[in-house]
Amino acid sequence: DAGVIQSPRHEVTEMGQEVTLRCKPISGHDYLFWYRQTMMRGLELLIYFNNNVPIDDSGMPEDRFSAKMPNASFSTLKIQPSEPRDSAVYFCASSLAVTGRNFGPGTRLLVL
Amino acid sequence: GESVGLHLPTLSVQEGDNSIINCAYSNSASDYFIWYKQESGKGPQFIIDIRSNMDKRQGQRVTVLLNKTVKHLSLQIAATQPGDSAVYFCAEGAYNNNDMRFGAGTRLTVKP
């Protein structure tokens, strides 16, 4: 198993641009999570899905952030428009119910 | 201006010594706990978990202790190796749902 796959691994963009982060969870896992990690705030849960349905998006910072899961093997996190304060490492993780999450390698986002 | 970030607690040990990393959790209703290891440039990696009906669980070279009375969790690493150098996070939550909250982390440095 390749584990959770995220792309791109690094993204540098300019303020105001749209950013799309992608995630492929581990096959068979029915939970998918998006996290953001910064030095200021540590690891924050943004949103999670169960069977492709968003369950809790209370961690999404604001309307500029949106996440979708069109099928069991793919999810996107979109920021539009991006701002410098969005610079962080974004992790996708997947799990079976009530087991430890498997994290992807992360996407390092820098918004100039 | 200067940014203020999380100042992670730091533990420095000699190779071969045992390490103990502590975590105080906040919610007395939490009944499921996980320890993660995050190496530089990587996503968090599951180490070991414990449910609240246990006070000790052992894995390979690691032991997790849970003291529900004082809401304290610890991770013991036996015969610490340079490869154990990482940031260690505890996470707390409910076993019957996926709302796990991560602590700030502790940086473990192993001196050869």
Residues 37-76 on B with a CB inside 8 Å of A are: 42-46, 49
Q: Which of A38, A41, A104 sits opposite B43 (nearest CB)?
A: A104
With CB atoms and an 8 Å threshold, state whether B42 touches A106.
Answer: yes
Q: Residue A41: its pLDDT value, please? A: 85
Q: Residue B6: its pLDDT value, please? A: 56
Distance from the Cα of A45 to chain B's closest Cα (Å) equals 8
Q: Largest alpha-carbon pair distance within chain B?
A: 48
What's the whole-number mean pLDDT along residues B62-71? Answer: 96
Give percent of chain B with pLDDT exceeding 70.
93
Q: Which residues contact A58 (CB under 8 A, 6 or more apart)?
A: none
Distance from the Cα of A20 to chain B's closest Cα (Å) equals 19
Residues in chain A closer than 8 A to B101 (CB atoms): 45
Query: Is the pLDDT assigned to residue B1 strictly greater than 70?
Result: no
Residues in chain B closer than 8 A to A100 (CB atoms): 34, 36, 46, 49
User: Residue with structure tokens 């990696």?
Assistant: B45
Q: Which residues contact A76 (CB under 8 A, 6 or more apart)?
A: A20, A21, A22, A23, A67, A68
Q: Residue B3: its pLDDT value, please? A: 37
With CB atoms and an 8 Å threshold, state whether A98 touches B96.
Answer: yes
Task: Tell me if residue B71 falls in helix, strand or coil.
Answer: coil
Q: Residue B11: its pLDDT value, please? A: 95
Query: Is the pLDDT assigned to residue B96 strictly greater than 70?
Result: yes
DSSP sequence for chain A: ----EEE-SEEEE-TT--EEEEEEPPTT--EEEEEEEETTTEEEEEEEEETTEEEE-TT--STTEEEEEEETTEEEEEESS--GGG-EEEEEEEESTTSPPEE---EEEEE-
Lowest mean pLDDT among A40-44, B19-23, B43-47: A40-44
Give the other-Cβ count within 10 Å of B105's Cβ: 23
pLDDT tens digits for range A6-52:
999 999 999 999 999 999 999 999 999 999 999 888 899 999 999 99
Residues 9-38 on A with a CB inside 8 Å of B are: 31, 33, 38
Q: Residue A107: its pLDDT value, please? A: 98
Distance from the Cα of A101 to chain B's closest Cα (Å) equals 7
Q: Which pLDDT band holds residue B95 (cuts at 50, 70, 90)?
A: confident
Higher-confidence residue of A99 and A46: namely A46
What's the whole-number mean pLDDT along residues B72-79? Answer: 97
Q: Residue A78: its pLDDT value, please? A: 98
* Cα end-to-end span (Å), chain B: 37
CA B91 from centroid of its chain's CA atoms: 8
With CB atoms and an 8 Å threshold, state whether A31 touches B96.
Answer: no
Q: The tokens of B81 are what?
A: 């190796």
Q: What is the mean pLDDT of chain A?
A: 94
Q: Which pLDDT band holds residue A1 (cuts at 50, 70, 90)?
A: low
Lowest mean pLDDT among A8-17, A64-73, B2-11, B44-53: B2-11
Q: Is the CB of A98 inside 8 Å of chain B's CB atoms? A: yes
Query: Is the pLDDT assigned to residue A80 strictly greater than 60?
Result: yes
